[in-house]
Amino acid sequence: MKKRILVLGCTGSIGTNTLKIIRTMPELFSAVGLVAHTSSEKLETLAAEFNCPAVLTSQEPDGIRRLIQETQPDIAVNGIAGSAGLEPSRIVLDAGIDLALANKETVVMAWPLIQKLAEKHHCRILPVDSEHSALFNLIEKFNKDSVSELLITASGGPFRTYTKEQLSVVTVADALKHPTWKMGKKITIDSATLANKGLEVIEACRLFGFSPDAVKVVVHPQSIVHSLIRTRDGMLYAQLSDPDMKHPILSALTWPDYTDNVLEPFSLFDHELTFFPPKTENFPLLGYAFEAARAEKSYTIAYNAANEVAALAFIDKKIQFNDIPRIVRTVLDKDWSMEPDSFETVFSADTEARMEAQKLI
């Protein structure tokens, strides 16, 4: 039977890759509903091509709920950018639908609540972030009790080899030139500051139930090894493929099964693989993420919100590259010890952190 897929953020990078898979494998998948925010023309074209209903959330805030009722999908891919992705994740799980989750902010902001909701409605959450898809597959095969450490790879972004002085004058155009991945603007800036890796560290701790001390970041400029696990006996196991988000999306859509590979097969001979420790002194946002992950409570919400506001302000050329970590640091130094024990408290901490960041801008 075909899997019926709702694509949230269908006009973005994750959404486009999801639709490419659906086009390539029509015997396995069909798009039954499409959601975008403001790209109305693109959405209209896609809805005509896939012959399914579509919703523009900027025009219909309750549109996702309506679309789910109308189309009864088997799974939703959440490729919405930023913290705007949390509420759609909640709506999907509340409706008892499995979630293929690219939107890492959902996990960083509200994992305990999201996990509880998934358990209540017997839904699965399948990670789409390439590193977490790799870890998910590896942990599943080796079983969590055998795993002592998670090693998340990072390309290092376009400024991997820059000095602090060079970093102080980089432009938005420089930061948007990611060496290996083609992604939306916000995540590309986060890859340049290593905030994206910071969010992924928090995401990994939560998705897989590991303490921040058991998570390491390894810079691997080729983005071929997507992550590794260390088993208790000291061995390392890795997942390798070309840097193409269709791999983790396909893995989430077919889990627990595997399909024959329809993508370009990966060849070991064409690549040199190198690994380095991250330069935490030049990219402080990585260290701040570990700090927020250890502090828990509302600290990860504040980290995410302050970074999102600062990254967007940098894209709008309102601040310099090095102001992004400064703003996050100042916001994190406030008191975020309130427990985010309801979606309302999560959104209230998010709003407060945004206001603090905005004041600094």
Ligand X SMILES: NC(=O)c1ccc[n+]([C@@H]2O[C@H](COP(=O)([O-])OP(=O)(O)OC[C@H]3O[C@@H](n4cnc5c(N)ncnc54)[C@H](OP(=O)(O)O)[C@@H]3O)[C@@H](O)[C@H]2O)c1
What is the C-alpha R_g of the chain?
20
We find the least distance from the C-beta atom of residue 260 to ligand X, in angstroms, to be 24
Residues 63, 57: Cα–Cα separation, whole Å? 6
Which residue of this chain has its Cβ atom nearest to ligand X in the complex? 12
E strand spans, 120-249: 125-127, 147-154, 215-219, 225-231, 236-240
CB nearer ligand X, residue 6 or residue 102: 102
Binder among 6, 22, 54, 102 for ligand X (CB under 6 A): 102
Binder among 14, 205, 328, 331 for ligand X (CB under 6 A): 14
CB nearer ligand X, residue 100 or residue 151: 100
Binder among 89, 103, 133, 300 for ligand X (CB under 6 A): 103
**Neighbour tally for 244: CB within 10 Å:** 18
Burial (CB count within 10 angstroms: exposed 0-12, middle 13-18, buried 19+), residue 59 = exposed
Place of tokens 């940098």: 314
Residues 178, 182: Cα–Cα separation, whole Å? 7
Site for ligand X in 188-227 (CB under 6 A): none
Site for ligand X in 173-192 (CB under 6 A): 181, 183-184, 187
Site for ligand X in 236-255 (CB under 6 A): 245
Binder among 4, 6, 15, 229 for ligand X (CB under 6 A): 15
Cβ–Cβ < 8 Å for 353, 319: no
Give the interface size with ligand X as a residue count (CB under 6 A): 27
Residues 6+ positions from 177 with CB-CB distance below 8 Å = 158
We find the least distance from the C-beta atom of residue 106 to ligand X, in angstroms, to be 8
Q: Is 98 in the site for ligand X (CB under 6 A)?
A: no
Token pair belonging to 224:
């071929």
Nearest to 130 by CA among 8, 251, 269, 308: 251
Place of tokens 């897929």: 5
CB nearer ligand X, residue 37 or residue 160: 37
Token pair belonging to 199:
């969010």
Lay out the site mask for ligand X across 106-145 (x = CB under 6 A, - = otherwise).
Answer: -----------------------x----------------
Stretch that binds ligand X, among 73-81, 209-217, 251-259, 285-293 (CB under 6 A): 73-81
Burial (CB count within 10 angstroms: exposed 0-12, middle 13-18, buried 19+), residue 20 = middle
Token pair belonging to 225:
């090894």
Element containing residue 32 per DSSP (H, E): strand 29-36
Stretch that binds ligand X, among 12-20, 25-33, 262-270, 350-358 (CB under 6 A): 12-20
CB nearer ligand X, residue 312 or residue 360: 312
Residues 258, 349: Cα–Cα separation, whole Å? 40
CB nearer ligand X, residue 214 or residue 315: 315
Binder among 3, 20, 30, 39 for ligand X (CB under 6 A): 39
CB nearer ligand X, residue 102 or residue 292: 102
Stretch that binds ligand X, among 11-19, 156-164, 301-309, 341-349 (CB under 6 A): 11-19
Residues making contact with ligand X (CB under 6 A): 9-15, 36-39, 57, 79-81, 84-85, 102-105, 129, 181, 183-184, 187, 245
